[in-house]
Structures are given as structure tokens and as C-alpha cells.
Chains A and B, each alone.
Chain A
């Protein structure tokens, strides 16, 4: 890039343009974005396949553990189901759980953090003690108990409690219940910094209400660390989903997820080891890409980083 070109771009660029440009220079971040795009396309490829009549849940007991061949590129699993198609559909579920639980838990974290940071005082103390208490809990055992709850005892109907939708939303909700604490702390710290800036005080002096100040002045100015934290949370949630589904307290078969495809993995390791490798490898690649993406975003958003 010549000096002239650099100077002409520098002049007109917006903060977000600048961040985008910095991000594009982060090699691992860009590579992760490409990998994630490929993974999403891979998972969505199940939709046209299902329209041609392929069924991820259809079992064929004569085709158990069939090796890869035409029509079944990765072979068949222990119940004679197409492994490749189940990986695609399972990926949709795992990614969707990751995104939804992050959005819901993140929203909870933002609300708690911004209220604590903006109002301070007793509300701050109470909310942060609650957050500290939450952080100090053993998360996985707690998630397992929440995953094992009998929904009918909570007043849901028997039909709903047994449906696939209930299994899906249950895991989204329980992960959001436990995984909002890091975002709440981050939002509170960022809010504390912004709260006393001149433009926020000016807005308050001009008569702006708390809700307006928080929405119009504070949130937009703490957006970048929130985006980074959301990204990293997606990776963590996908790991939580996979281990819960693997242990049998998450997404329940026949609905596939990358985690529950490994349910029988301990026996598979001796009989059909590749079946135990694929789903875990996909989880691993997805989460590492998400984490590198977060790292790249953080570098791009950091005003101290050069150019």
C-alpha cells in the first residue's frame, strides 16, 4: 500500500470502518471467519438433502456401521443412520443453541451489569454479590441437575415435557441461567467508566431519563467489549451443550447434536473409532474458530493497537 493511498483512506474512515480494516489484517481472525462460514454452509446443506427425502433419524439395522460408500459418504452409525447427514443436522442444533443461549444469557448480563454500574449504591452491591455468588458455583453439576428436572413438576404438560422442542429450549434456558456472569461484570465495569463522562453528564443535566441515557449513550459506547464477550460466550456455550448432551442431559436423541452423537462413543472407540472422532472434531474446530474470531475482534477494537 503506497503512502498516498493510505492517507486517502485514513481521512474518510468511520470508527467501524477502521475496526473492520484492522480486523481484516488479523490473519487468524479472518481465517476463523472463513472456517465458520464454511461450517455454517455445511450444516445448512442438510436442508436441500432433507428435501430430497433423506432423513437424519431413519434407521436401517441392516446397515449398522456400514463403511463409507456412495450415498453415505461417511458411512452409517450404530443404528444405521447416515453419519454425514446427522453431523449436518446436529451442527444446526449445536450452533443454534450456542447463539440463542448467548443472546438470552448475554441480554440478562447486560441488564444486570448496566443497572449495577449506572445506579451504583445498594443496587450495585446487591446485584454484584448475586453475580459473585453465581460465579462461585460448580457450573457443570448445577447444569446437570437443571437438565434432569422433571418439567411436569414445574407445571408443564406431559406432552410438552417429552417433545423435542422442550429438550431444545430447556438446554437454551438452563445455559442462559448460569452463563451471564462474565458479561454482567464486564458491562458493569464499562458502564462505571462511561457514566461520569462529560457527554453523559450533559445528557443528564439536560433532563434525559435513565433509560434514555443507558440506551443512547452508554450501550453504544460499550458495544465493542460486549461484542467480543458475546463471541467468546458462543464458544463456551457450544462446549456446555456438547458435554450436557453427551452426558444425556441435553439434546435427547433421536434429534442429533454434536454432543449426543458421542453418547455411545465409549463403545465406539473400540468398534468404529471414526464415529467417535467426527463430531468431537467439528466441535473443536468450531469453538477454536469462534475463540480466534473473538481474539481478532478484540485486537481490531482495541484503540491502543496500531493503525
Chain B
């Protein structure tokens, strides 16, 4: 087990290192230049001045050198300065990370709970009416564009019915818990709906497969109540593959979070990455992407470890 954990952690670290270089190079290929605002705001900047500035900031160095320089600083906790926020990147990043984690965790809990109920219910009678309705719902969840779902929620609940606020974390001057909760409803529901379809289909498939097994027949033959057969004998065995897949997809919630945060103006990582790329805030974009990669890599690592722990046959 220790060897398994070590090898997986080592792999994740390697992927992170490679990705940090890829992201660093990609950011360098974005339009603009770290100096363009400085130059544009200074009409007296002659080509010689520009060249000297480039030398001062090390922009005339080869990319590998600049990358090594950045990596060394990053490992010491210096991620640079955000030019749109006029603050160190970490000061901008940490509250955003917290907002995103809150959004992702809440939606994750909602969608896992709901998909378990729906998936098990549908699996009780494959091909039945409930199964049909649940399948339709699951397919709809997989197929709906998240940003459009968010738009339709805003249209219905904010514009037409005036029930829920469409944007922000809270109303200005209102610090109550209820107000925070009201602002979270639509983002959380939207993000949950985007992942619930896949989860439900998976729970259903795994449950149907398990309920066909011999030990379920034995459990019924012994005279167990149906509820006990399904929940104790069925669910426990059906959960092994489900836990892995669901844990693996926690990281992919990040893509949905980017869209949800942008649509509902939640100041999280996703919106921050989006805004920083739009406004050429290179340091912030770079660190944001890196943290997004860390979040997904870390949750995938946990999923791998959970699988190794649940299924003792997996050994490395």
C-alpha cells in the first residue's frame, strides 16, 4: 500500500511539473507582453528604453531560463504580482480558491446524494416507468450546456419570479447567513445538475449488475426484507466502482465551476482564470491554471488511493 501511494504521488508530481512548463509556455504565447501597458502609458519610451526594460525584467532570456527562474521563485511561495488587482497573486488567489472549493463541495454533495437515490430507485425495476423518467433526466443532465442552464435559471428564478439573486456572494451590507445561502442556491444547483446525469447512470448500471448476482438471490431466499437486500447486500457491493468514478470526476467539476462562477458572478478560481486571461494578467492566469491543475490532480490522486483501499485486489 505504501508503495502504491508513493508511486501514485510521484506520478502526480511529475505530471504537475510537466504541466507547469506547458502552461508557462502557453501563457507566453498569449497576445500581448508583460511590458505593453508600461510602454503604452509612457509615450517617451524609445526602442532603447524598451530593450533596457526587457533586459531588466529578464524578458530577453530564453524560455527555459525564465521558466527555471519562475519555478524557483514559485517554490519559495513567490508567485508574482497581479497587474489587474495590484496585489500579490497569492492574496488574490486564496479567497478565490476558498469560494471555488465551497461551490464544488456543496454541489458535489448535492449531486452525489440525489444521484444515489435516483440511480437505486431506477435500478429496482429496469425498463420500468421510474427507470424511463430517471434515464431521460440523466441524459438531459449530460446533454445540457451548463452556461445555458445557468441562463435559463437566471431567466426563470431571478428575472421572472424574483425569487433568487442572480449574481454575487451576498447583497451589499447584508452579512447574514441566510443571504449568503440564497446567493449560493442557483450556482450550486446548476453545477450539481451538470454532474448528476453521469453519476445517476453509473449508480444505476452498477446497481443493476449487483442485483443480478447470486448473493442477492441468497439474501432474498434467506427471507431478508427487500429494503435490507437492496441497501445492505446490494448497495455495499455496488459502491466499489461507483466511489472511484465519482471521486475521479470531482476534479472535472472544475470546468463546470468555471462556467458557473462566470455566469453567476461568483469570485472564484474559475472566474478569476477567465478574467485574467481576458485582461492579459499573466501572473494570475499562470498561477490560477497551476492551482486548477493541482486541485484536479489531487482529487484524482485521492480517488486512486480510495480505490486501492476499497478493493484489496488492487496492489502495486
Contacts and interface: CB of A to CB of B under 8 A. Distances in A.
A247 B261 CA distance: 12
B139 A292 contact: yes
A284 B145 contact: yes
B266 interface: no
A266 B151 contact: yes
A284 B148 CA distance: 9
Interface string A129-146: 100110111111110111
A148 B18 contact: no
Contacts of B118: none
Contacts, number: 132
Contact of B148 (A142, A150, A283, A295): A283
A273 B296 contact: no
B255 interface: yes
Contacts of A276: 151-152, 155
B296 A262 contact: no
A207 to B, nearest CB: 38
B251 interface: yes
Chain B's interface size range is: 35 or more
Given A138-B254, A276-B151, A149 B145 contact: no
B144 interface: yes
Pairs of residues from A and B, 4 with the lowest C-beta to C-beta distance, nearest first: A280-B148, A140-B255, A288-B143, A287-B143
A277 B139 CA distance: 19
Interface in B145-162: 145-148, 151-152, 154-155, 159
B292 interface: yes
A64 to B, nearest CB: 20
A136 B22 CA distance: 14
Given A138-B292, A288-B139, A247 B262 contact: yes
Contact of A283 (B145, B255, B278): B145
B192 interface: no
Query: Which of B23, B26, B143, B152 neighbours the largest number of chain A CB atoms within 10 Å of its CB?
Result: B143
A262 B139 contact: no
B251 A136 contact: yes
Contact of B159 (A246, A270, A288): A270
Nearest to B138: A291
30 contacts: A133-B18, A136-B297, A138-B252, A138-B289, A138-B292, A138-B293, A138-B296, A140-B254, A140-B255, A141-B255, A141-B273, A141-B289, A144-B273, A145-B285, A145-B289, A153-B29, A242-B147, A259-B145, A262-B147, A265-B151, A279-B148, A280-B145, A283-B145, A283-B148, A287-B143, A287-B145, A288-B142, A288-B143, A288-B144, A291-B139
Nearest to B294: A138
B156 to A, nearest CB: 10
B270 interface: yes
Interface string B1-35: 00000000001100100110001001111111000
Contacts of A138: 251-252, 254-255, 289, 292-293, 295-296
Query: Which of A145, A149, A259, A292 neighbours the largest number of chain B CB atoms within 10 Å of its CB?
Result: A145
Contacts of A43: none
B103 interface: no
B115 to A, nearest CB: 17
Nearest to B148: A280
Given A138-B296, A145-B23, A273 B155 contact: yes
A150 B289 contact: no
A133 to B, nearest CB: 4
A153 B27 CA distance: 11
Interface in A131-182: 132-133, 135-142, 144-146, 148-150, 153-154
A277 to B, nearest CB: 7
B300 interface: yes
Contacts of B278: 248
A52 to B, nearest CB: 31
Contacts of A110: none
B139 to A, nearest CB: 5
Contacts of A262: 147-148, 151
Given A140-B258, A288-B143, 19 more contacts: A133-B18, A136-B12, A136-B300, A137-B293, A141-B292, A145-B23, A145-B27, A150-B30, A242-B145, A247-B262, A262-B147, A265-B151, A269-B154, A273-B155, A276-B155, A277-B155, A279-B148, A283-B145, A284-B144
A56 interface: no
B119 to A, nearest CB: 16
A291 B142 contact: yes
Nearest to B142: A291
Given A136-B15, A136-B297, A141 B270 contact: yes
B277 A149 contact: no
Contacts of B139: 288, 291-292, 295
A239 interface: yes
A291 B143 contact: yes
Nearest to B155: A269
A141 B292 CA distance: 8
Interface in A237-276: 239, 242-243, 246-248, 259, 262, 265-266, 269-270, 273, 276
